Structure 1
Amino acid sequence: MLKQNLQQKLLQKLSPQQIQFIKLLQVPTVALDTRIKEELEENPALEDISLADMNEAPEDYPDRDPDDEYNSDEGGDDLDDFNIEDYLQEDNLNDYGNRYDNDDDEDRKELPIAVSNTFFENLQAQLDLIPLDDKSYMIAQQIIGSLDDDGYLRRSIASLVDDLAFSQNVIAEDEEAEEMLKVIQTFDPPGIGARDLQECLLIQLRKKDASNPIVKNAVNIIENHLEEFTKKHYDKLEKMLGLSPEELKDSINEILKLNPKPGDSGISNIKQLQIIPDFHITKTDNTLTLTLNSKNAPELRVSRSYQEMLEHYEKSSEKDKKLKEAVHFVKQKLDSAKWFIDAIKQRQQTLLKTMNAIMQYQYEYFLNDGDERYLKPMILKDIADKIGMDISTVSRVANSKYVQTEFGTYLLKSFFSEAIQTETGEEVSNKEVKKILEECIGQENKKKPLADEKLTEILKEKGYNIARRTVAKYREQLGIPVARLRKEL
């Protein structure tokens, strides 16, 4: 049965301006310039003062002669004869493009990228040097194309043979594919074409001097005792191989020189994203000064010609459909430009407000050149409460913004940490505990590395009463393996 009901609801919705601000807030400085360029190209009612033409209204240039051509009555006649359709059809993007292309600002220059062959191109070049018949050549190409970025062949020979039959109509036997794989395994870098880590290491070792006893022992270890090697059961290896600790150490060192991912060495360098700090903190006479990167404060304005155009058409006596559409278009572009400028200004204020609160909270840390002993426990809520903003706003700032100090450039997120209470009741940052934990592991005897239980006891002796599982968690966060895997000969 159908029914009609009336009901009132109270909903919270983000306005277009709020959505635009949120998106701009999480954009890092390195990407903000691109975002502004996009907006300038999409909205002709928005102008960058540094790029604007000098053809401004006469009131912008008080030194001009008021009787010059810009102030003549003919200008008004031209405006009356102006056709909005002709204006909209003009290719204004060319003007913007020319300005960007001719910009000589050093900050806009990019570093050149070294041109080099890719990993697969290097393998193809080596294949071209080998005299092969057409069938063998196609099999070899199929194998090279099936290698992953690490240089491993993780597909079965049977699958390769099937692909050749279906995609290239080449009927090959498994033995033929195996034979061509052995050829490719002779290519550089050594280890290419292996089907697992064991085969990869063996390929590299067998290219070395086979008469060398160190190499012989290394081959024996990888071929017959890989599990004991990976688990660092060195005592077992010494007994099973009948080697002295020195001989085993030499063989282990020979294995550690090998490349477990040979494909990585052939991949061409990829240009990494450049980090541009959003803030700068300078220290003068024990006083900190915070500044915002100038790229975060672009000089934008609403186009005066668009404003004058809107006023002209609103005063026009003609009120036909085309004129209404023109007025609507111009007004929409003007509103969009104003919203964007307001969002940029609000972004600047929010960034400065948030970073200033972080600097004041961690004042001693920044004053003492990043000494982590002075880093206070701080969570997002602490800063949010201090500046009167939502936690999500602080999170957007902290997760994507960098600050340059006299002791390095850091992501704001790195200054946040949880609190740990010492035996004296004092709250310290967990980063201080991690630093001490890292120092303890760095100073340990690598022949007898410290287990998590021992590390827990050492921290308790220093006044940090934390559980063993917490020590294990901090150790993993630092990227440090368990004691057994840290053991060295």
Structure 2
Amino acid sequence: MISQSLSQKFSQKMSPRQIQLMKLLQVPTFELEQRIKEEIESNPALEEGNTDSNNEENEYKEADDHEKDDNSVDFEDYFPEYGEEDQTYRSASDGYQQEDKPTRQIASNDSNLQDYLERQLNLVDLPTDLDRIIGKQIIGSIDEDGYLRREPISITDDLLFSMNLQIEEQQVLKILAIIQQFDPKGIGARNLQEALLLQVQGKLKEPEKLDEFRIKDLKIAEIILRDYFNEFAKKHFSKLAQNLNVDEEDLKSAYDEILKLNPKPGGGYVDNDALVVQYIEPDFTITNRDGELEMSVNSRNSPDLHISEGYKNMVRNLKRKRQSGKLSKEERETAMFVKQKIEAAQTFIDSILKRQSTLYNTMHAIMMMQYDYFLTGDTRYLKPMILKDIAEKIEVDISTVSRVANSKYVQTEFGTKLLKEFFSDKVQNNDGDDVTTVEVKKMLSNIIDEEDKTNPLSDEALMELLDKNGISLSRRTISKYREKMNIPVARLRREM
């Protein structure tokens, strides 16, 4: 399997510590608390809460005056030096006062889409616990629009990599078919065609809610979406009517039923008519203090972490035993267990600290490069900036910046923004000045918004209008920008 091979090669190049950091970087702020709780539950050497390690007598740094024998355990080899140098992660270190902590920008019924789907999964009588694990992995891969945009092989690779589970693609497809019956209808679709088809089929499974005319319209719509989606997408109505052997009135009724469907099923309504949305917890806040920008990092969901006092006491006791005599086989095994747990706990604490510093450095570098924008909120002040620019400034890999940019949000006076929105290439206008592609796309979008919808503008016409506004681009580039903004070609923008 090519994907599995690539995953294995990638994992071989990264240390466990690096892999852990990469995963933590992608954890949303509102999920970080739960992630930390899971780590604490799995590792008794890791604890949360305040600890006064600075006043603690440091018994780990006592000189070892005893000669070693073949049966001794060298605790200096087994353990790092904990005590005054014990690294503790404290959320207060980021300088947040209680009143300064940012709030969630989107609130609903105390749930997000993933939670809602998992609750439905828990109500399904699945044959094995493995099926439930697969189901949770699938749900975790569904994006905010409700789509599963990953291949089954990628999900099997994830389970192999994270849980050492050998799963066949067919098992993933079997559980996916179950999830696709969940509410909101169309969830878990792999493309637009499947999303719309699932919604139509869901309506037809409840005929008692429909009259005979709607049932007829929906059945025609089902055939269109299943067998003639390309013709439908290209608005080849005459060809559709001919293939379906229906008149224009029936075709229009079926077409209207399709237009009522939700192209983004993840934004659909649940049974209690509450819109299921994903929380956006800002990772950063930027404020304008009399012309000076201030930035803070949200650490409200990061409790204080430290090494367990109980485990430290075990280290002390085992060291004393070693110094006074021999250790038994059981005590050697205990020493090894304690070593592994403390090392894992310290690695996690280090990763949390590194996560915070990486987030801070990335956002600070972006803020400094886009200073005028954050002062004004005017996109005309956005400077051309690519991932490499930030990576070089903070001396990290481009992939690290990419992970932060694609998953982290900043709360500004002009709204809450995904960091990747501040990255763009540059083009030169007719005066030789640099203009960001963000600004060019905005100009293009405004022109299309104001066009005559009965006679929409072709890409060539758009190219000419942009040229009159001082931006010379090829028709191919216009087409690429239009597609990135999810704006269809002129023929598909035409209104009846």
Q: Which has the larger radius of gyration?
A: 1
Match of 1:275 in 2: 280
Match of 1:420 among 422, 427, 434: 427
Q: 1:97-135, CA deviations, whole angstroms, 9 ceiling, x for partnerless residues?
A: xxxxxxxxxx999945699xx9xxxxxxxxxxxxxxxxx
Does residue 350 of structure 1 match 2:358?
yes
TM-score norm. by structure 1 comes to 0.59
Cα distance between partner residues in 1 of 2:301 and 2:233: 56
Q: Of the candidates 268, 289, 294, which is equivalent to residue 294 of structure 2? A: 289
Superposed, 1:150-165 pairs within 5 Å as 150-152=199-201
Instruction: Name stretches of at least 5 consecutive residues in structure 1 with no aligned partner.
Output: 1-11, 61-106, 119-143, 155-179, 202-225, 234-247
Match of 1:298 among 288, 303, 307: 303
**CA-CA distance at 1:433 after TM superposition:** 0.6
> Taking every aligned residue pair, what percent have the same amino acid on both sides?
43
> Which residue does the alignment assign to 1:168?
none
Aligned 8 A contact 1:184 1:193 in 2: no
- Aligned equivalent of 2:220, options 184, 196, 202: 196
Deviation at 1:186, TM superposition (A): 3.8
Give the superposition deviation at 1:259. Answer: 4.8
Over 3 Å counting, the alpha-carbon distance change for 1:45 and 1:414 in structure 2 is same
Summarize the Cα distance change of 1:322–1:110 in structure 2 as closer, same or farther, 3 Å threshold.
farther
Whether contact under 8 Å (1:379, 1:418) holds in the other structure is yes
1:420 and 1:429 in contact (8 A); partners too: yes
| 2:384 corresponds to | 377
Alpha-carbon contact 1:378-1:415 (below 8 Å) kept: yes
Does 1:461 pair with 2:468? yes
User: Aligned in 2, Cα 1:436/1:193: closer, same or farther, shift over 3 Å?
Assistant: closer
RMSD in angstroms over aligned alpha carbons? 4.5
Aligned length: 339
SS at match of 2:277: coil
Q: Please state whether the residue corresponding to 1:404 is helix, strand or coil.
A: strand
Indicate the SS of the match to 1:466.
coil
Q: Which has the higher contact order (CA 8 A, sep 6+)?
A: 2
Render the CA deviation track for 1:433-486: whole Å, top value 9, x for unaligned. Answer: 110011111112223222111110111111111001111111122222222222
1:376, 1:429 within 8 Å by CA — same for their partners in 2? yes
Q: How far apart are the structure 2 equivalents of 1:189 and 1:314? A: 83
**Change in 2 beyond 3 A, CA 1:200/1:464:** closer
Offset at 1:330?
1.4
- C-alpha deviations, 1:166-206, integer Å up to 9, x for none? xxxxxxxxxxxxxx9996684599448833328799xxxxx
Cα distance in 2 between the residues matched to 1:13 and 1:228: 44
Q: Distance in 2 between matches of 1:13 and 1:374?
A: 40
Q: Secondary structure at the match of 1:282?
A: strand
d(CA) in 1 for partners of 2:417 and 2:213? Answer: 36
Indicate the residue corresponding to 2:494 in structure 1. 487
Separation (CA, whole Å) in 2 of partners of 1:195 and 1:377? 50
String of CA shifts for 1:10-60, please: whole Å, max 9, x gaps: xx853332222222222221221121011110111111116x8xxx99967
Question: Which segment drifts farther, 453-462 or 312-321?
Answer: 312-321
Q: What's 1:19 paired with?
A: 19
| Corresponding position of 1:131 | none
Which amino acid counterpart does residue 201 of structure 2 have in structure 1? Y
Return closer, same or farther for 1:267/1:338 CA change in 2, 3 Å cut-off. closer
Q: Which runs of 5+ in 2 are unaligned?
A: 1-11, 57-102, 121-180, 187-196, 226-230, 239-248
Q: Cα gap change, 1:358/1:285 in structure 2, threshold over 3 Å: closer, same or farther?
A: same
Equivalent position SS for 1:196: helix
**For the Cα contact (< 8 Å) 2:218–2:254, is it kept in 1?**
no
What code does the residue aligned with 2:219 have? R
Cα–Cα, structure 1 residues 16 and 262, in superposed 2: closer, same or farther, change >3 Å? closer
Counterpart of 1:381, as a letter, is K
Give the CA deviation at 1:350: 0.9
Output the CA distance in 2 between the equivalents of 1:348 and 1:337: 17
1:322 to partner: Cα distance: 0.5
Gap change, CA 1:113 and 1:410, over 3 Å in 2: closer
Residues 192 and 347 (structure 1), Cα distance of their counterparts in 2 relative to 1, 3 Å cut: farther
The residue type paired with residue 382 of structure 1 is D
CA contact (8 A) 1:152 1:196 kept: no
Rounded Cα–Cα distance in structure 2 between residues aligned with 1:197 and 1:464: 43
Q: Is the contact between residue 153 and residue 194 of structure 1 (CA under 8 Å) also seen in structure 2?
A: no
SS of the residue corresponding to residue 353 of structure 2 reads helix
